[in-house]
Amino acid sequence: MEEPKASRRDLTKAQNREVILTAARSVFAQMGFAKATVRDVIRATPLASGTFYNYFKSKEEVYQALRDEAALAIRPTLRQARLAAETQEEFLSSGFRTFFAFLQSRQDEGAVAEASRFRMDSPEVLAGFAELREDLEKAIARGVFAPVDAGLLTSCIVGMAFELAQQVKAGREVEDATRFATALVLGGINAAA
């Protein structure tokens, strides 16, 4: 039995971590990740500067933690949608739709006011790519998907998804992007088979 033993220590520890992450979200959104400093984050907090380093090694690690958080939040939903799919169309459209809707709902935080476009994939995000690949392979094995190179297809889907996400953030309808991406991949796969 893993007794959580929610001692006072463990509690404030979790709290402090969350306080820092929340402050970082706000600071990054406000002044942009590039310009923000560890000091800016900690100043938006009642904690002392040294305390920051008890929780994170750097600004980058905080950013990763935020990305990881988002990735872990959406991955189960994506998995479920894909595993439940009984057709290629369903597999693709539910995946794209879930992804776009998720990003749109968090538009505000992700909208880090950067000078130029910029993307950084944290380990959990990469793990999400691996999950998509696994799901694709399973779907192929189940006969739901035509047999194609899962690695290359994963890259294509991921690339399309992230790039189309920009358009969604710029005002495109989630359904438009979903329909287009789904049709493209679907048609391409069927043509290849």
Partner DNA sequence: GACGTTCGTGACGCCGCGTCAATTTCTCTT
Partner DNA sequence: AAGAGAAATTGACGCGGCGTCACGAACGTC
Binding residues for DNA, rule: CB under 7 A, are: 5, 7-10, 12-13, 16, 37-40, 46-51, 53-54, 57-59
120: partner contacted, choices a second copy, DNA, none (Cβ within 5-8 A by kind): a second copy
Nearer Cβ to a second copy, position 5 or 117? 117
Give the tokens for residue 114: 């950067």
CA 179 to CA 189: how far, in whole Å?
A: 15
Taking the least distance from each CB to a second copy, the nearer of 19 and 71 is 71
CA 91-92-96 angle, to 5 degrees, is 125
Q: Which of the choices DNA, a second copy, none does residue 7 contact, using the CB cut-off of 5 to 8 A by kind?
A: DNA
Phi and psi angles of residue 56, each rounded to the nearest 5 degrees, phi first: -140, 150
Among 11, 113, 141, 183, binds a second copy (CB under 8 A): 183
Nearer Cβ to a second copy, position 94 or 154?
154
Instruction: Give burial (CB, 10 Å; 0-12/13-18/19+) of 103.
Output: buried
From the list DNA, a second copy, none, which binds 185 (C-beta under 5 to 8 Å, kind-based)? a second copy
- Would you count residue 45 as binding a second copy (CB under 8 A)? no
Assess 84 for contact with a second copy (CB under 8 A): no
119, 142, 147, 175: which one contacts a second copy (CB under 8 A)? Answer: 119
**Total residues at the site for a second copy (CB under 8 A)?**
43
Our CB check for a second copy shows the closer of 47 and 144 to be 144
d(CA 167, CA 165): 5
Q: Which helix (H) or strand (E) holds 183?
A: helix 174-192
Collapse the DSSP code of 125 into the 3-class scheme (helix H, G, I; strand E, B; otherwise coil) and give the result: helix
In angstroms, rounded to a whole number, what is the distance separating the alpha carbons of residues 169 and 100? Answer: 9
